[in-house]
Amino acid sequence: MSSKEEKRVAELRDVLDYHLYRYHVLDDPEVTDAEYDRLYDELVALEETNPKLVIAGSPTQRVGAPPSEKFLKVQHPSPMGSLEKVTTDEALEKWHQDVCKRLGTSAVAYVTEPKIDGLSINLIYEAGIFVRGATRGDGRQGEDVTPNLRTIKAISMRMQLAERETPPSLLEVRGEVYLPLSGFNQLNERLVAEGKKPTPNPRNAAAGSLRLKDSTITAERPLSIWIHGLGQREGLPADGHWESLEWLRAHGFRTNPYAERHETVESVAAACRDWEKRRIELDYEIDGIVIKVDSFDQQRRLGALHDRPRWARAFKWAPMTAETKLNKIHIRVGRTGALNPWAQLEPVEVGGVTVSQATLHNEEDINRKDIREGDNVIVQRAGDVIPQVVGPVLPHAKGTKPFKMPKQCPLCGVDVVKPEGEAMHRCPNRACPSRGLESLINWVQAAADIEGVGEQSVRRLWDLGLVRSLPELYRLTKEQLMELEGYGEISATSAIESIDASKQVPFNRVLFGLNIPDVGWVTAQNLARHFENVDRLLSAAQEDILEVEGIGPERAEAIAEWFSDEPNRALVEELRSLGLRFEIGDELKPVEGPLTGNTYVITGTLEAFTRDEAAAALQAKGAKVLNSVSGKTTGLIVGEEPGSSKLTKARKVEVPILVSGTKLRRLNQKPSVWDLSDMSRCDTGGVRPEKKTSASRKRDDFGTTSRPGFGRSGPGLGGPTSTTGDGRFAPRRTRTGR
């Protein structure tokens, strides 16, 4: 081997480590996947011809080592303490008072970070090189899982150092290894495909993956890490936790972007409350907030009690999962004829709310998890989303049987069908009460959101034969309503007034409420924007509909078919003559602004905005936001986990790639045209769209989860998914490649 090759190997390792750092830690790659792969392949080739050059810290050695017999116990250089927890604002305040008293000052700053529900580990770096990693164990000694940790690309094998910078001779770095939710779903899908048992939750999956004897299997799991602290840190130039986090990030460690520094305990309490709601936005599970006194000096003076530092607390929220008995599996037939199974549960408190019903998705899902009537099950709540049954607590209760979907529709008795490639069973009967009744319920609860007329009234009106269609709802009289239990003169009058007022709901909501196949909230909005009035939609061919953002050929065909169907055309005419709105108002018309003439495409998850918010802000400035990149695109805005096809296309046609973040950085040579961080301050036409949850983003077109302005959806009378579509949802993509 020549010294030239030796030099090149060292150079490649540096470069590859640097690019991994840009990609995994900074979320700001400098090279394409293809360029990275080319460098990586070059290193592999050089190492293959010169095996002596292979070192443990090489990027090529992240693929896993041969299986080991057992994990060695190792002593942590300094013990890993455990956190005392608080669960209320009062307890938090009491701790703060204690801290102030002990320090003799009320000038105490805190740092908060999401508390990752993962696996604590301790990483040791000697002179900047990763040498060993161990599980927490009992806090004093843990198990050496170094080969498995090496497979996690978010763990840096070498610190990023400035020129001539001397790293600390020994640094203990602490973090939490976790499995992103997207990775967890993917893993379970694969396990099931291989005929294996799915893992019950991401934490178990992460712990199991990290303790696998065969690290080549660990390498296949998309584990990641958040670094949140230090053990031994001699020579580290930082006076407090906040500074140390900044130092760690700059030196190649993946620290959580949601860490915050607070000057007051009130601000800490507000952050704890805020994150309890926001936690569903994250692609990993958190079960609370870790709070630390910022100053190292104050930390030292406070000390610890039985390995529990007095300078830190975990603010833990009520658990989002609980165990209870599944009494019965019911079927509800949705407005599209889909059979939605749901679980009637022994009431149980989950995250502070009593839950007695939960969704079960579909037959395949139930049987994959082997959920049976009579089982004890784990119920999970995530934010505003309908509670779901995660799985049974095994073994099954005695005498239980696997679930079977009924052969006939429970409402009309017609044989149910399961179309090829679909997860849902359906009642094919177009005259099935489900279609009309559920459409009406969807109308009063979601599409038109009529105050004073709820699901229960609609069911009664249906049963009495008074209202069997939307036009009949609008012809309903006060006298008819007063025949129903629960309506007096006043309430009936105001209900009729609400029904009348609902004629003014915008065109997009009317479209959503018409029960057109596969037209959910977002598609309805896009259709309304594109066609502007129903006449253009009534005469649209499949090709015309295909031009609408987010609509593929199949859906376009179904929509065109719906509008060419005579009874549907008659329905539209009738509703129009009753005074409902069939054209867009100013709210959906394009705005003239500084960005008029510019078109943008957004991909991935943005840091500070939902995609809808970002799109709305751009549209408010006159820009257009489209779904696919072309030569005419002004810029591709890239968030976390971007779609690779859009990125590739953008590079191919030389569209500027704009990276969102606190500062908009540009990756291409072309200058960026606007700053995302500025958008919160820009005028969005007075209406900032409501913050949607990540869960609703996942499902945005099926209307299963929280929708803007729908206070009354969710578990209600007669079933958990009163306004459901098909409950299908696409798991978030995980990053592939590096």
Q: Applying CB under 5 A, which residues contact Zn ion? A: 409, 411-412, 427, 429, 432
Nearest-angstrom CA–CA distance, 592 and 146: 58
Minimum CB separation of residue 417 from Zn ion in Å reads 11
The 3-state secondary structure of 463-480 reads HCCCCCCHHHHHCCCHHH
Q: Which of 70, 85, 94, 115 is catalytic?
A: 115
- 652 is an active site residue: no
Tell me which DSSP letter residue 526 carries. H
Q: Tokens for 250?
A: 């700059």
Q: Tokens for 238?
A: 């930082």
Minimum CB separation of residue 426 from Zn ion in Å reads 9
Minimum CB separation of residue 664 from Zn ion in Å reads 52
Q: Which is nearer to Zn ion, 257 or 718 (CB)?
A: 718
Minimum CB separation of residue 435 from Zn ion in Å reads 8
Q: Tokens for 223?
A: 């584990």
Nearest-angstrom CA–CA distance, 46 and 49: 5
CB 111 within 8 A of CB 291: yes
Closest CA to 282 of 176, 210, 209: 176
At residue 553, the 3 state secondary structure works out as helix
Minimum CB separation of residue 431 from Zn ion in Å reads 8
Minimum CB separation of residue 513 from Zn ion in Å reads 21
Residue 609 sits at φ, ψ, to 5 deg, of -135, 155
Give 66-70's long-range contacts (Cβ < 8 A, gap of 24+).
66/214, 66/216, 67/213, 67/214, 67/215, 68/147, 68/213, 68/215, 69/213, 70/213
Minimum CB separation of residue 424 from Zn ion in Å reads 13
At residue 176, the 3 state secondary structure works out as strand
Minimum CB separation of residue 464 from Zn ion in Å reads 20
The total of other beta-carbon atoms located within 10 Å of residue 419's CB is: 10
Nearest-angstrom CA–CA distance, 447 and 3: 72
Burial 348-377 (b: 16+ CB within 10 A, else e): bebbeeebbbbbbbbbebbebbbbbbbbeb
Q: Which is nearer to Zn ion, 335 or 509 (CB)?
A: 335
Q: What is the CA radius of gyration of the chain?
A: 29
Q: Which is nearer to Zn ion, 187 or 411 (CB)?
A: 411
Q: Which is nearer to Zn ion, 335 or 692 (CB)?
A: 335
Closest CA to 388 of 424, 438, 334, 345: 345
DSSP string computed for 638-658: E-BS--HHHHHHHHHTTPPEE
Minimum CB separation of residue 567 from Zn ion in Å reads 18
Helices H, strands E: what count in the chain? 25, 23
Q: Which is nearer to Zn ion, 13 or 426 (CB)?
A: 426
Tell me which DSSP letter residue 167 carries. P
Kindly report the CA angle at 571 between 565 and 577, in degrees rounded to 5? 140
Pairing of strands 388-392, 376-380: antiparallel
φ/ψ region of 32 (left if φ > 0, alpha if ψ in -120 to 50, else beta) reads beta
Q: Would you name the residues annotated as active-site residues? A: 115
